[in-house]
A = this chain, B = another copy of it.
Amino acid sequence: MGEHIVIIGGNAAGMTAASRARRVNPDLKITVLEASQFISYSICGTPYHLSGLVEDPAQLVTFTPESLLAERGIHARIRTRVEEIQPSRRLVVARELATGTEVEISYDRVVLATGYLPSSPAIEGAGLKGVFTISRLEDAVCLRSEIETRICRRAAVIGGGYIGLMMVHALHALGLQVLLFEKSDHVYRQIDPDMAEIIEEELQKKNISLHLSTAVRKLVGHQGRIQSVEIIGKRAQRELFPVDLAIVDVGVVPNVRLALDSGIPCGISGAIEVDGRGQTNVSGVYAAGNCAETVHRVSGKKMFSTLGTTAARQGRVTGENIAGLRTVFPGTLETSLEKLFHLAIGRTGLTLQQSLEAGFDADSAMISGWSRSGYYPESTPIHLKLIFERRGGRALGAQIIGEDAAAKRIDTLATALTAGLTVEQIAQLDLAYAPPYGTLWDPIQIAAHQAKKKLH
């Protein structure tokens, strides 16, 4: 029997690390410990279960413990919560939640892949029945069950970030009247305000009741169940909005309690400090995914990423290293894509605001192009913002909003950022054209041409 790899957390990073380690070294014994009842599920798919597009939550799950063992030779123990890592003894202490039994499991190398947790909402009333946070498949299952078994007409979403917007979409698809409360001026701060306005227009077109610059003061209950949302309005007045349920998305934090309790240090970002191979500062202990720190490929700064793609890629590299290869994770551009009603929203690299905060002498060009040739039926707008250094013109980030898969163009810009291309080089890219799929000059080139005019 080979060495024993223990992986704590059975989703994007943990499962990818386990699968990759198995592929690289078939002699390893690999055990995945997962506190919840599901492994290897698509957290990105949970809104589609909620909305009913994906009827059975089992569709979102790639492996059961049984199929994982049969197909990949990886042991998974679900409902098993790790309570401590003892690096000096190369041991993890876990509790089997079904029985309450404490078990000790020895390891040669252990990987922390504990992901993130919703920030504890500091909102009064967050503990009422009918109030949800969404960070696990179970959360979506419970929420859907609530909607199916009770009469729900009005739902509040508190926080207009990525998860909040996904929930707005899903609840709207279920026919609920949706109120969205966001304390800052704009939704979705992963993009700049001028791009966020396009999303806000779309929300209003869909009759979402949008409350920007609005702090939720408390959730008001009746007999232990939510009855209304109390806000502090723009003129400091209090207002009550009756609702049947509320989803709170006030951000997420890296799930590092176990690491800290076990003496494994976190970095400046709050996530577990690791090198490019996934090694923590403690011998034999690795970390990967959203609980682990990563580096931003444009700013070079350490950061906490919440993306499943970052988790899976970092997990893959860590899996290779625990299995004996020497590979390095180059970091993230925080490239992301989401579908909100008909709009695809893509972003990569730094926003203009993030660029300025990171100390770049940055500027931006924002244009609107078309998804097809003007004469071709059903052409729709594509909005594109390109951020770049004013001297030299190196691209720093981009944001795209358009219908259909228009925003998958963000990959072209993620590739340009990776290669350090300038707006001049982007303008000269040999991009593809066909009337049903774009315009002779792609919006990417149109934006790059605009950007060139602003160079110093």
Chain B residues within 8 Å of A438, by CB: 337, 408
Chain B residues within 8 Å of A442, by CB: 411
Closest-by-CB residue of B relative to A328 is B428
B308 adjacent to A430 (CB under 8 Å): no
Judge whether A338 is part of the interface by a CB distance below 8 angstroms: yes
Q: A419-B421, A440-B308 are in contact. Are A430 and B53 (CB under 8 A)?
A: no
A437 adjacent to B309 (CB under 8 Å): no
Binds B, one of A76-84, A138-146, A213-221, A371-379: A371-379
CB-defined interface of A399-428 with B at 8 Å, one 1/0 digit per residue? 000001111111110111011110001001
A432 adjacent to B407 (CB under 8 Å): yes
Chain B residues within 8 Å of A411, by CB: 409, 411-412, 429, 431-432, 442, 444
Contact of A404 among B54, B338, B404 (CB under 8 A): B404
Considering the chains assembled together, what is the distance between the CA atoms of A297 and B431 in angstroms? Answer: 13
Judge whether A381 is part of the interface by a CB distance below 8 angstroms: no
A435 adjacent to B344 (CB under 8 Å): no
Minimum Cβ distance to chain B for residue A63 (Å): 13
B53 adjacent to A376 (CB under 8 Å): yes
Q: A309-B431, A430-B309, A431-B309 are in contact. Are A376 and B54 (CB under 8 A)?
A: yes
Minimum Cβ distance to chain B for residue A361 (Å): 23
Considering the chains assembled together, what is the distance between the CA atoms of A333 and B431 in angstroms? Answer: 9
Chain B residues within 8 Å of A42, by CB: 373, 375, 435, 440
CB-defined interface of A197-223 with B at 8 Å, one 1/0 digit per residue? 000000000000000000000000000
CB-defined interface of A325-361 with B at 8 Å, one 1/0 digit per residue? 0000111111111110000101010000000000000
Considering the chains assembled together, what is the distance between the CA atoms of A312 and B428 in angstroms? Answer: 11
Considering the chains assembled together, what is the distance between the CA atoms of A373 and B308 in angstroms? Answer: 14
Chain B residues within 8 Å of A339, by CB: 434, 436-437
Considering the chains assembled together, what is the distance between the CA atoms of A420 and B416 in angstroms? Answer: 11
Considering the chains assembled together, what is the distance between the CA atoms of A415 and B310 in angstroms? Answer: 21
Considering the chains assembled together, what is the distance between the CA atoms of A297 and B297 in angstroms? Answer: 26
Judge whether A132 is part of the interface by a CB distance below 8 angstroms: no
Considering the chains assembled together, what is the distance between the CA atoms of A130 and B45 in angstroms? Answer: 55
Chain B residues within 8 Å of A406, by CB: 405
Judge whether A313 is part of the interface by a CB distance below 8 angstroms: yes
Judge whether A433 is part of the interface by a CB distance below 8 angstroms: yes
B430 adjacent to A410 (CB under 8 Å): no
Considering the chains assembled together, what is the distance between the CA atoms of A374 and B60 in angstroms? Answer: 9
Q: A415-B412, A418-B425, A440-B312 are in contact. Are A375 and B432 (CB under 8 A)?
A: no
Chain B residues within 8 Å of A430, by CB: 297, 309-310, 313, 331-335, 348, 414, 418
Q: A54-B376, A428-B330, A430-B332 are in contact. Are A437 and B418 (CB under 8 A)?
A: no
Judge whether A44 is part of the interface by a CB distance below 8 angstroms: yes
Considering the chains assembled together, what is the distance between the CA atoms of A436 and B412 in angstroms? Answer: 18
Considering the chains assembled together, what is the distance between the CA atoms of A412 and B339 in angstroms? Answer: 20
Judge whether A59 is part of the interface by a CB distance below 8 angstroms: yes
Considering the chains assembled together, what is the distance between the CA atoms of A324 and B45 in angstroms? Answer: 55
Considering the chains assembled together, what is the distance between the CA atoms of A282 and B350 in angstroms? Answer: 48
Considering the chains assembled together, what is the distance between the CA atoms of A313 and B427 in angstroms? Answer: 9
Contact of A434 among B12, B329, B338 (CB under 8 A): B338
A433 adjacent to B60 (CB under 8 Å): no
- 13 further contact pairs, Cβ within 8 A, besides A12-B440, A344-B434, A405-B408: A42-B373, A44-B434, A45-B373, A45-B375, A53-B377, A308-B440, A309-B431, A313-B428, A331-B430, A344-B437, A408-B409, A410-B432, A411-B444
Interface residues of chain A, those whose CB is within 8 Å of chain B, are: 12, 42, 44-45, 48, 53-54, 59-60, 297, 308-310, 312-313, 329-339, 344, 346, 348, 373-377, 404-412, 414-416, 418-421, 425, 428-438, 440-442, 444
Closest 7 CB pairs of A and B: A419-B419, A337-B432, A337-B434, A333-B430, A59-B375, A415-B415, A411-B412
| A-B residue pairs in contact (CB < 8 Å), sample of 23 | A44-B434, A45-B435, A48-B375, A48-B376, A48-B435, A54-B376, A309-B430, A309-B431, A333-B430, A335-B431, A336-B432, A336-B433, A338-B434, A344-B436, A348-B432, A405-B408, A408-B438, A411-B429, A411-B431, A415-B415, A415-B416, A415-B429, A419-B419
